[in-house]
Amino acid sequence: MDQPLISNDYALDVAALAIAAAGRAGCQAAVSVSAGNGLSIAVRNGEVEVLEQQRDKTLSVTVYQGRRKGSATTTDFARAAVEDTVSAAVRIAAAAEPDPYAGLVDPATLALEYPDLDLDHPWSLEAADAIELALEAEAAARDAHAEVQQVDEAAVSRYAGLRAYADSQGFRGAYRATRHGLSCTVVGARAGAMQRGYWFTTARHAAALEAPADIGRLATQRAIAKLGARKITTRKAPVIFENRIATGLIGQLVAAVSGSNLYREASFLRGAAGTQIFPDFLSIDEQPHVPRGLGSAPFDSEGGSTRARPLVAAGVLNGYVLDGYSARRLGLAPTGHAGGVHNLRVSDQGQDLAALLRQMDTGLLVTDLMGFGVNLLTGDYSRGASGFWVERGEICFPVEEITIAGNLRDMFRTLVASGNDLERRGSVHCGSLLLAQMTLAGD
């Protein structure tokens, strides 16, 4: 078994040592402490390929001499090491150029009180038991279909972590969280052609994970469904982004409204707050305090309050995603997003994926994307894609080696429908999305 994590109080005491040392040097400080332990297992062909025990801890110190900033880190929590780390940060700050926007977050935005979100559920899983779970997933995948060529990997992981934050303004906060998972990757083969399929499950509590055999079978189903894939001719057509892929599209929205891209003037949505960017049937709500939520957090990585809010309401962009620094650069208030967003929930009209396929009638269902052809400055979007061609609302055949292209501004504005098949394995909860039209480049 792993050794137990350090306590919340010990982590905050280490942070207090750093803050006191910074104060003696005439500096303000922001200090974060992280610690964790975990286990990762992967098997292939009935043999263990990966067996890793993880144990880590880090102290990160940022000091401010007026508007000069310096940062340093250490993995040694002894008093002398902590003080040496602070001294290193102070030396860096002394040599840095002043930044008029540098400094601690506005104290009015700190989470002086925050909820227990039930995020901490350690899994007492020994290596031998983890190997058995991985072997079960592998066997189920291999036995699910005669066209399975190999199971590339079946994997199991567990992780328990702690995050603490304190600053010179008196904020002190710490919480613990766990994250566990199983996954499987399968290669199917037919007539000399091969296709890969993947499936996974992840949760705060091990009891919420899907069964290993189900993970293996689903990975095989996804691989076999792709066999016989072909290209299609270049055309314009409606497109459905499967829920797993749709979360990435919402992720592009988040990147476009994030403070760092806005103050650098590197976003096509700069100045778009208060304007209509989606059809009025679509809303996106942030819910950071969902118990056991994979994107839940009681406070952000600057100690800022996390709170429920509509990011998009009836198609209108309500605001941006800001940490303390970007908020000052933009002359706005921070929004509790140092470190990212927390459980974005995209609304739907009650239709499942089958209903969206019928509504689309003829077009492309995208299940996989390749490459990173997204220009946030212009909104231009071009990605390699594969999936399934649909006619009369029914999947006809798998498609590969094509490129889908459009512009995010147009893609958002002409969204036709959002499904109720929510993908929940992350910080964005989104169903499949039906887009009116994209350019499909093939033969």
176 and 239 together in one domain: no
- Judge whether 396 lies within some domain: yes
1 within domain boundaries? no
Q: Which of 422, 151, 128, 434 lies closest to 290 in space, CA to CA?
A: 422
Output the pLDDT for position 3. Answer: 67
Same domain (yes/no): 201, 252: no
Q: Give the residue from 226, 260, 283 where a domain finishes.
A: 226
**Residues 215 and 243 placed together within one structural domain of the fold:** no
User: Does 317 lie in the same domain as 234?
Assistant: yes
Tell me how many degrees the CA angle 131-135-138 measures, rounded to the nearest 5.
140
CATH number of the domain to which 19 belongs:
3.30.2290.10
Per-residue pLDDT of the chain (443 residues; tens, 9 = 90+): 576 789 999 999 999 999 999 999 999 999 999 999 999 999 999 999 999 999 999 999 999 999 999 999 999 999 999 999 999 999 999 999 999 999 999 999 999 899 999 999 999 999 999 999 999 999 999 999 999 999 999 999 999 999 999 999 999 999 999 999 999 999 999 999 999 999 999 999 999 999 999 999 999 999 999 999 999 999 999 999 999 999 999 999 999 999 999 999 999 999 999 999 999 999 999 999 999 999 999 999 999 999 999 999 999 999 999 999 999 999 999 999 999 999 999 999 999 999 999 999 999 999 999 988 899 999 999 999 999 999 999 999 999 999 999 999 999 999 999 999 999 999 999 999 999 999 999 98
One domain, residues 314 and 255: yes
Of 169, 199, 226, at which residue does a domain stop? 226
- Same domain flag for 188 and 287: no
Question: Do 93 and 317 contact (CB within 8 A), yes or no?
Answer: no
Please check whether residue 247 lies inside any domain of the structure: yes
Last residue of a domain, one of 226, 252, 271: 226
**Pairing assessment for the beta strands 363-374 and 433-441 based on DSSP bridges:** unpaired
Residues 323 and 257 both lie in one domain: yes
Could you tell me if residue 99 is inside a domain?
yes
If asked whether residues 245 and 166 sit together in one domain, one would say: no
One domain, residues 238 and 268: yes
User: Helices 79-95 and 8-24 sit at what angle, rounded to 10 degrees?
Assistant: 50
pLDDT for the residue numbered 1: 55
pLDDT for the residue 371: 86
Total count of domains within the chain: 2
CA distance 94 to 373: 40
pTM of the model: 0.94
248 shares a domain with 220 = no
Structural domain including 113 reads: 8-226
Q: Are residues 277 and 358 in the same domain?
A: yes
Quick one: pLDDT at residue 383? 96
Which amino acid type is present at position 156?
V
